[in-house]
Chain A
């Protein structure tokens, strides 16, 4: 079976690689792709990198995007608009590490993209 994919977007390639390591210690079936840094791997984010990561992470059930700061969110939104798909969504106002970890766990249960997003949001509303 296929799972909702995850894309981790950060200003630094190292940040998202590290988070991917943490997730894959527990979850191995869910596609988790990274879009860290600019095209030259400098600090920043790149729409092109995000679009490429979405393509790799999409195994037919859609992709949920997680981001860290400022431009990461804006470039995530641009990537979603450019993809033109309603199966690509952004986890808004959700911490990158904790949020994507919960997202991976929920996706692994075979949920659809709306259910995964809802579960992630609920997890972080409760804590507040």
Chain B
């Protein structure tokens, strides 16, 4: 795989479109086991991201990702802001100096992003959080010499679906204990949209 500035912008555009289209769905998932603001927060955050990146011109993928990070951190309001913000910031730092971003560099970017989410949220894999999508996706990148976009989407999807049967240990859902079982984790679903959009972007290049 290779990721240019243009493709990165396309990736963001697709992610934003999915989040806006599924705003109510994300909110309903979060109403079941959280505080019900995930759809609203993500929609607001990514709308601001699009405003920011569409008004700017970029020389490097790193600079795009950095603007995404800063916008999400300041505009989202809920926990997804600092978590996604930290992820994009760490990814931005990891891919700095490589344009277009190649497969090993992007893998490093996902690894650093996941480390950032782990550090910031103090959660681990299996806690029914966005990590349950990010961790298997990272392993997928680490195991792939060349990235098959369909396989990427599949791993993100099955990982997201697997959060349904888990019990929440972190975040607002943790207060519900066993009652969180049977519901998808909203952060896993928005993370799925992110990687599904990346998959679609990579397919366009093929």
Which A residues are within 8 Å of any B CB, using their own CB?
37-39, 42-48, 69-71, 74-75, 77-78
B79 touches A74 (CB 8 A): yes
B37 touches A78 (CB 8 A): no
Question: B121: nearest residue on chain A (CB-CB)?
Answer: A74
Q: Given the known inter-chain contacts A43-B37, A44-B41, please indicate yes or no for A77 contacting B120, CB distance below 8 A.
A: yes
> In the complex, given contacts A47-B73, A75-B82, what are 9 additional A-B residue pairs having Cβ atoms less than 8 angstroms apart?
A44-B41, A45-B77, A46-B74, A47-B74, A70-B78, A70-B171, A71-B80, A74-B120, A78-B86
B74 touches A44 (CB 8 A): no
A-B CB pair tally, cutoff 8 Å: 50
**Interface residue tally for chain B (C-beta within 8 Å):** 19
Question: A42: nearest residue on chain B (CB-CB)?
Answer: B77
13 contacts between A and B (CB under 8 A): A44-B37, A45-B77, A46-B74, A47-B73, A47-B81, A69-B172, A70-B78, A70-B79, A70-B172, A74-B86, A78-B82, A78-B85, A78-B86
Among A38, A77, A78, which residue has its beta carbon within 8 angstroms of that of B77? A38
Separation of A48 and B73 alpha carbons in the complex (Å): 9
| Chain B window 108-130, contacts with chain A (Cβ cutoff 8 Å), 1 for yes, 0 for no | 00000000000011000000000
Among B37, B73, B121, which residue has its beta carbon within 8 angstroms of that of A75? B73
B138 at the interface (CB under 8 A from A): no
Which B residues are within 8 Å of any A CB, using their own CB?
37, 41, 73-83, 85-86, 120-121, 171-172
B82 touches A43 (CB 8 A): no
Q: Given the known inter-chain contacts A43-B37, A77-B120, please indicate yes or no for A71 contacting B82, CB distance below 8 A.
A: yes
Question: A74: nearest residue on chain B (CB-CB)?
Answer: B82
A44 touches B73 (CB 8 A): no
Question: B82: nearest residue on chain A (CB-CB)?
Answer: A74
Separation of A4 and B79 alpha carbons in the complex (Å): 28
B81 touches A75 (CB 8 A): yes
A39 touches B74 (CB 8 A): yes
B121 touches A44 (CB 8 A): no
What's the minimum C-beta distance from A13 to chain B, rounded to whole angstroms? 12
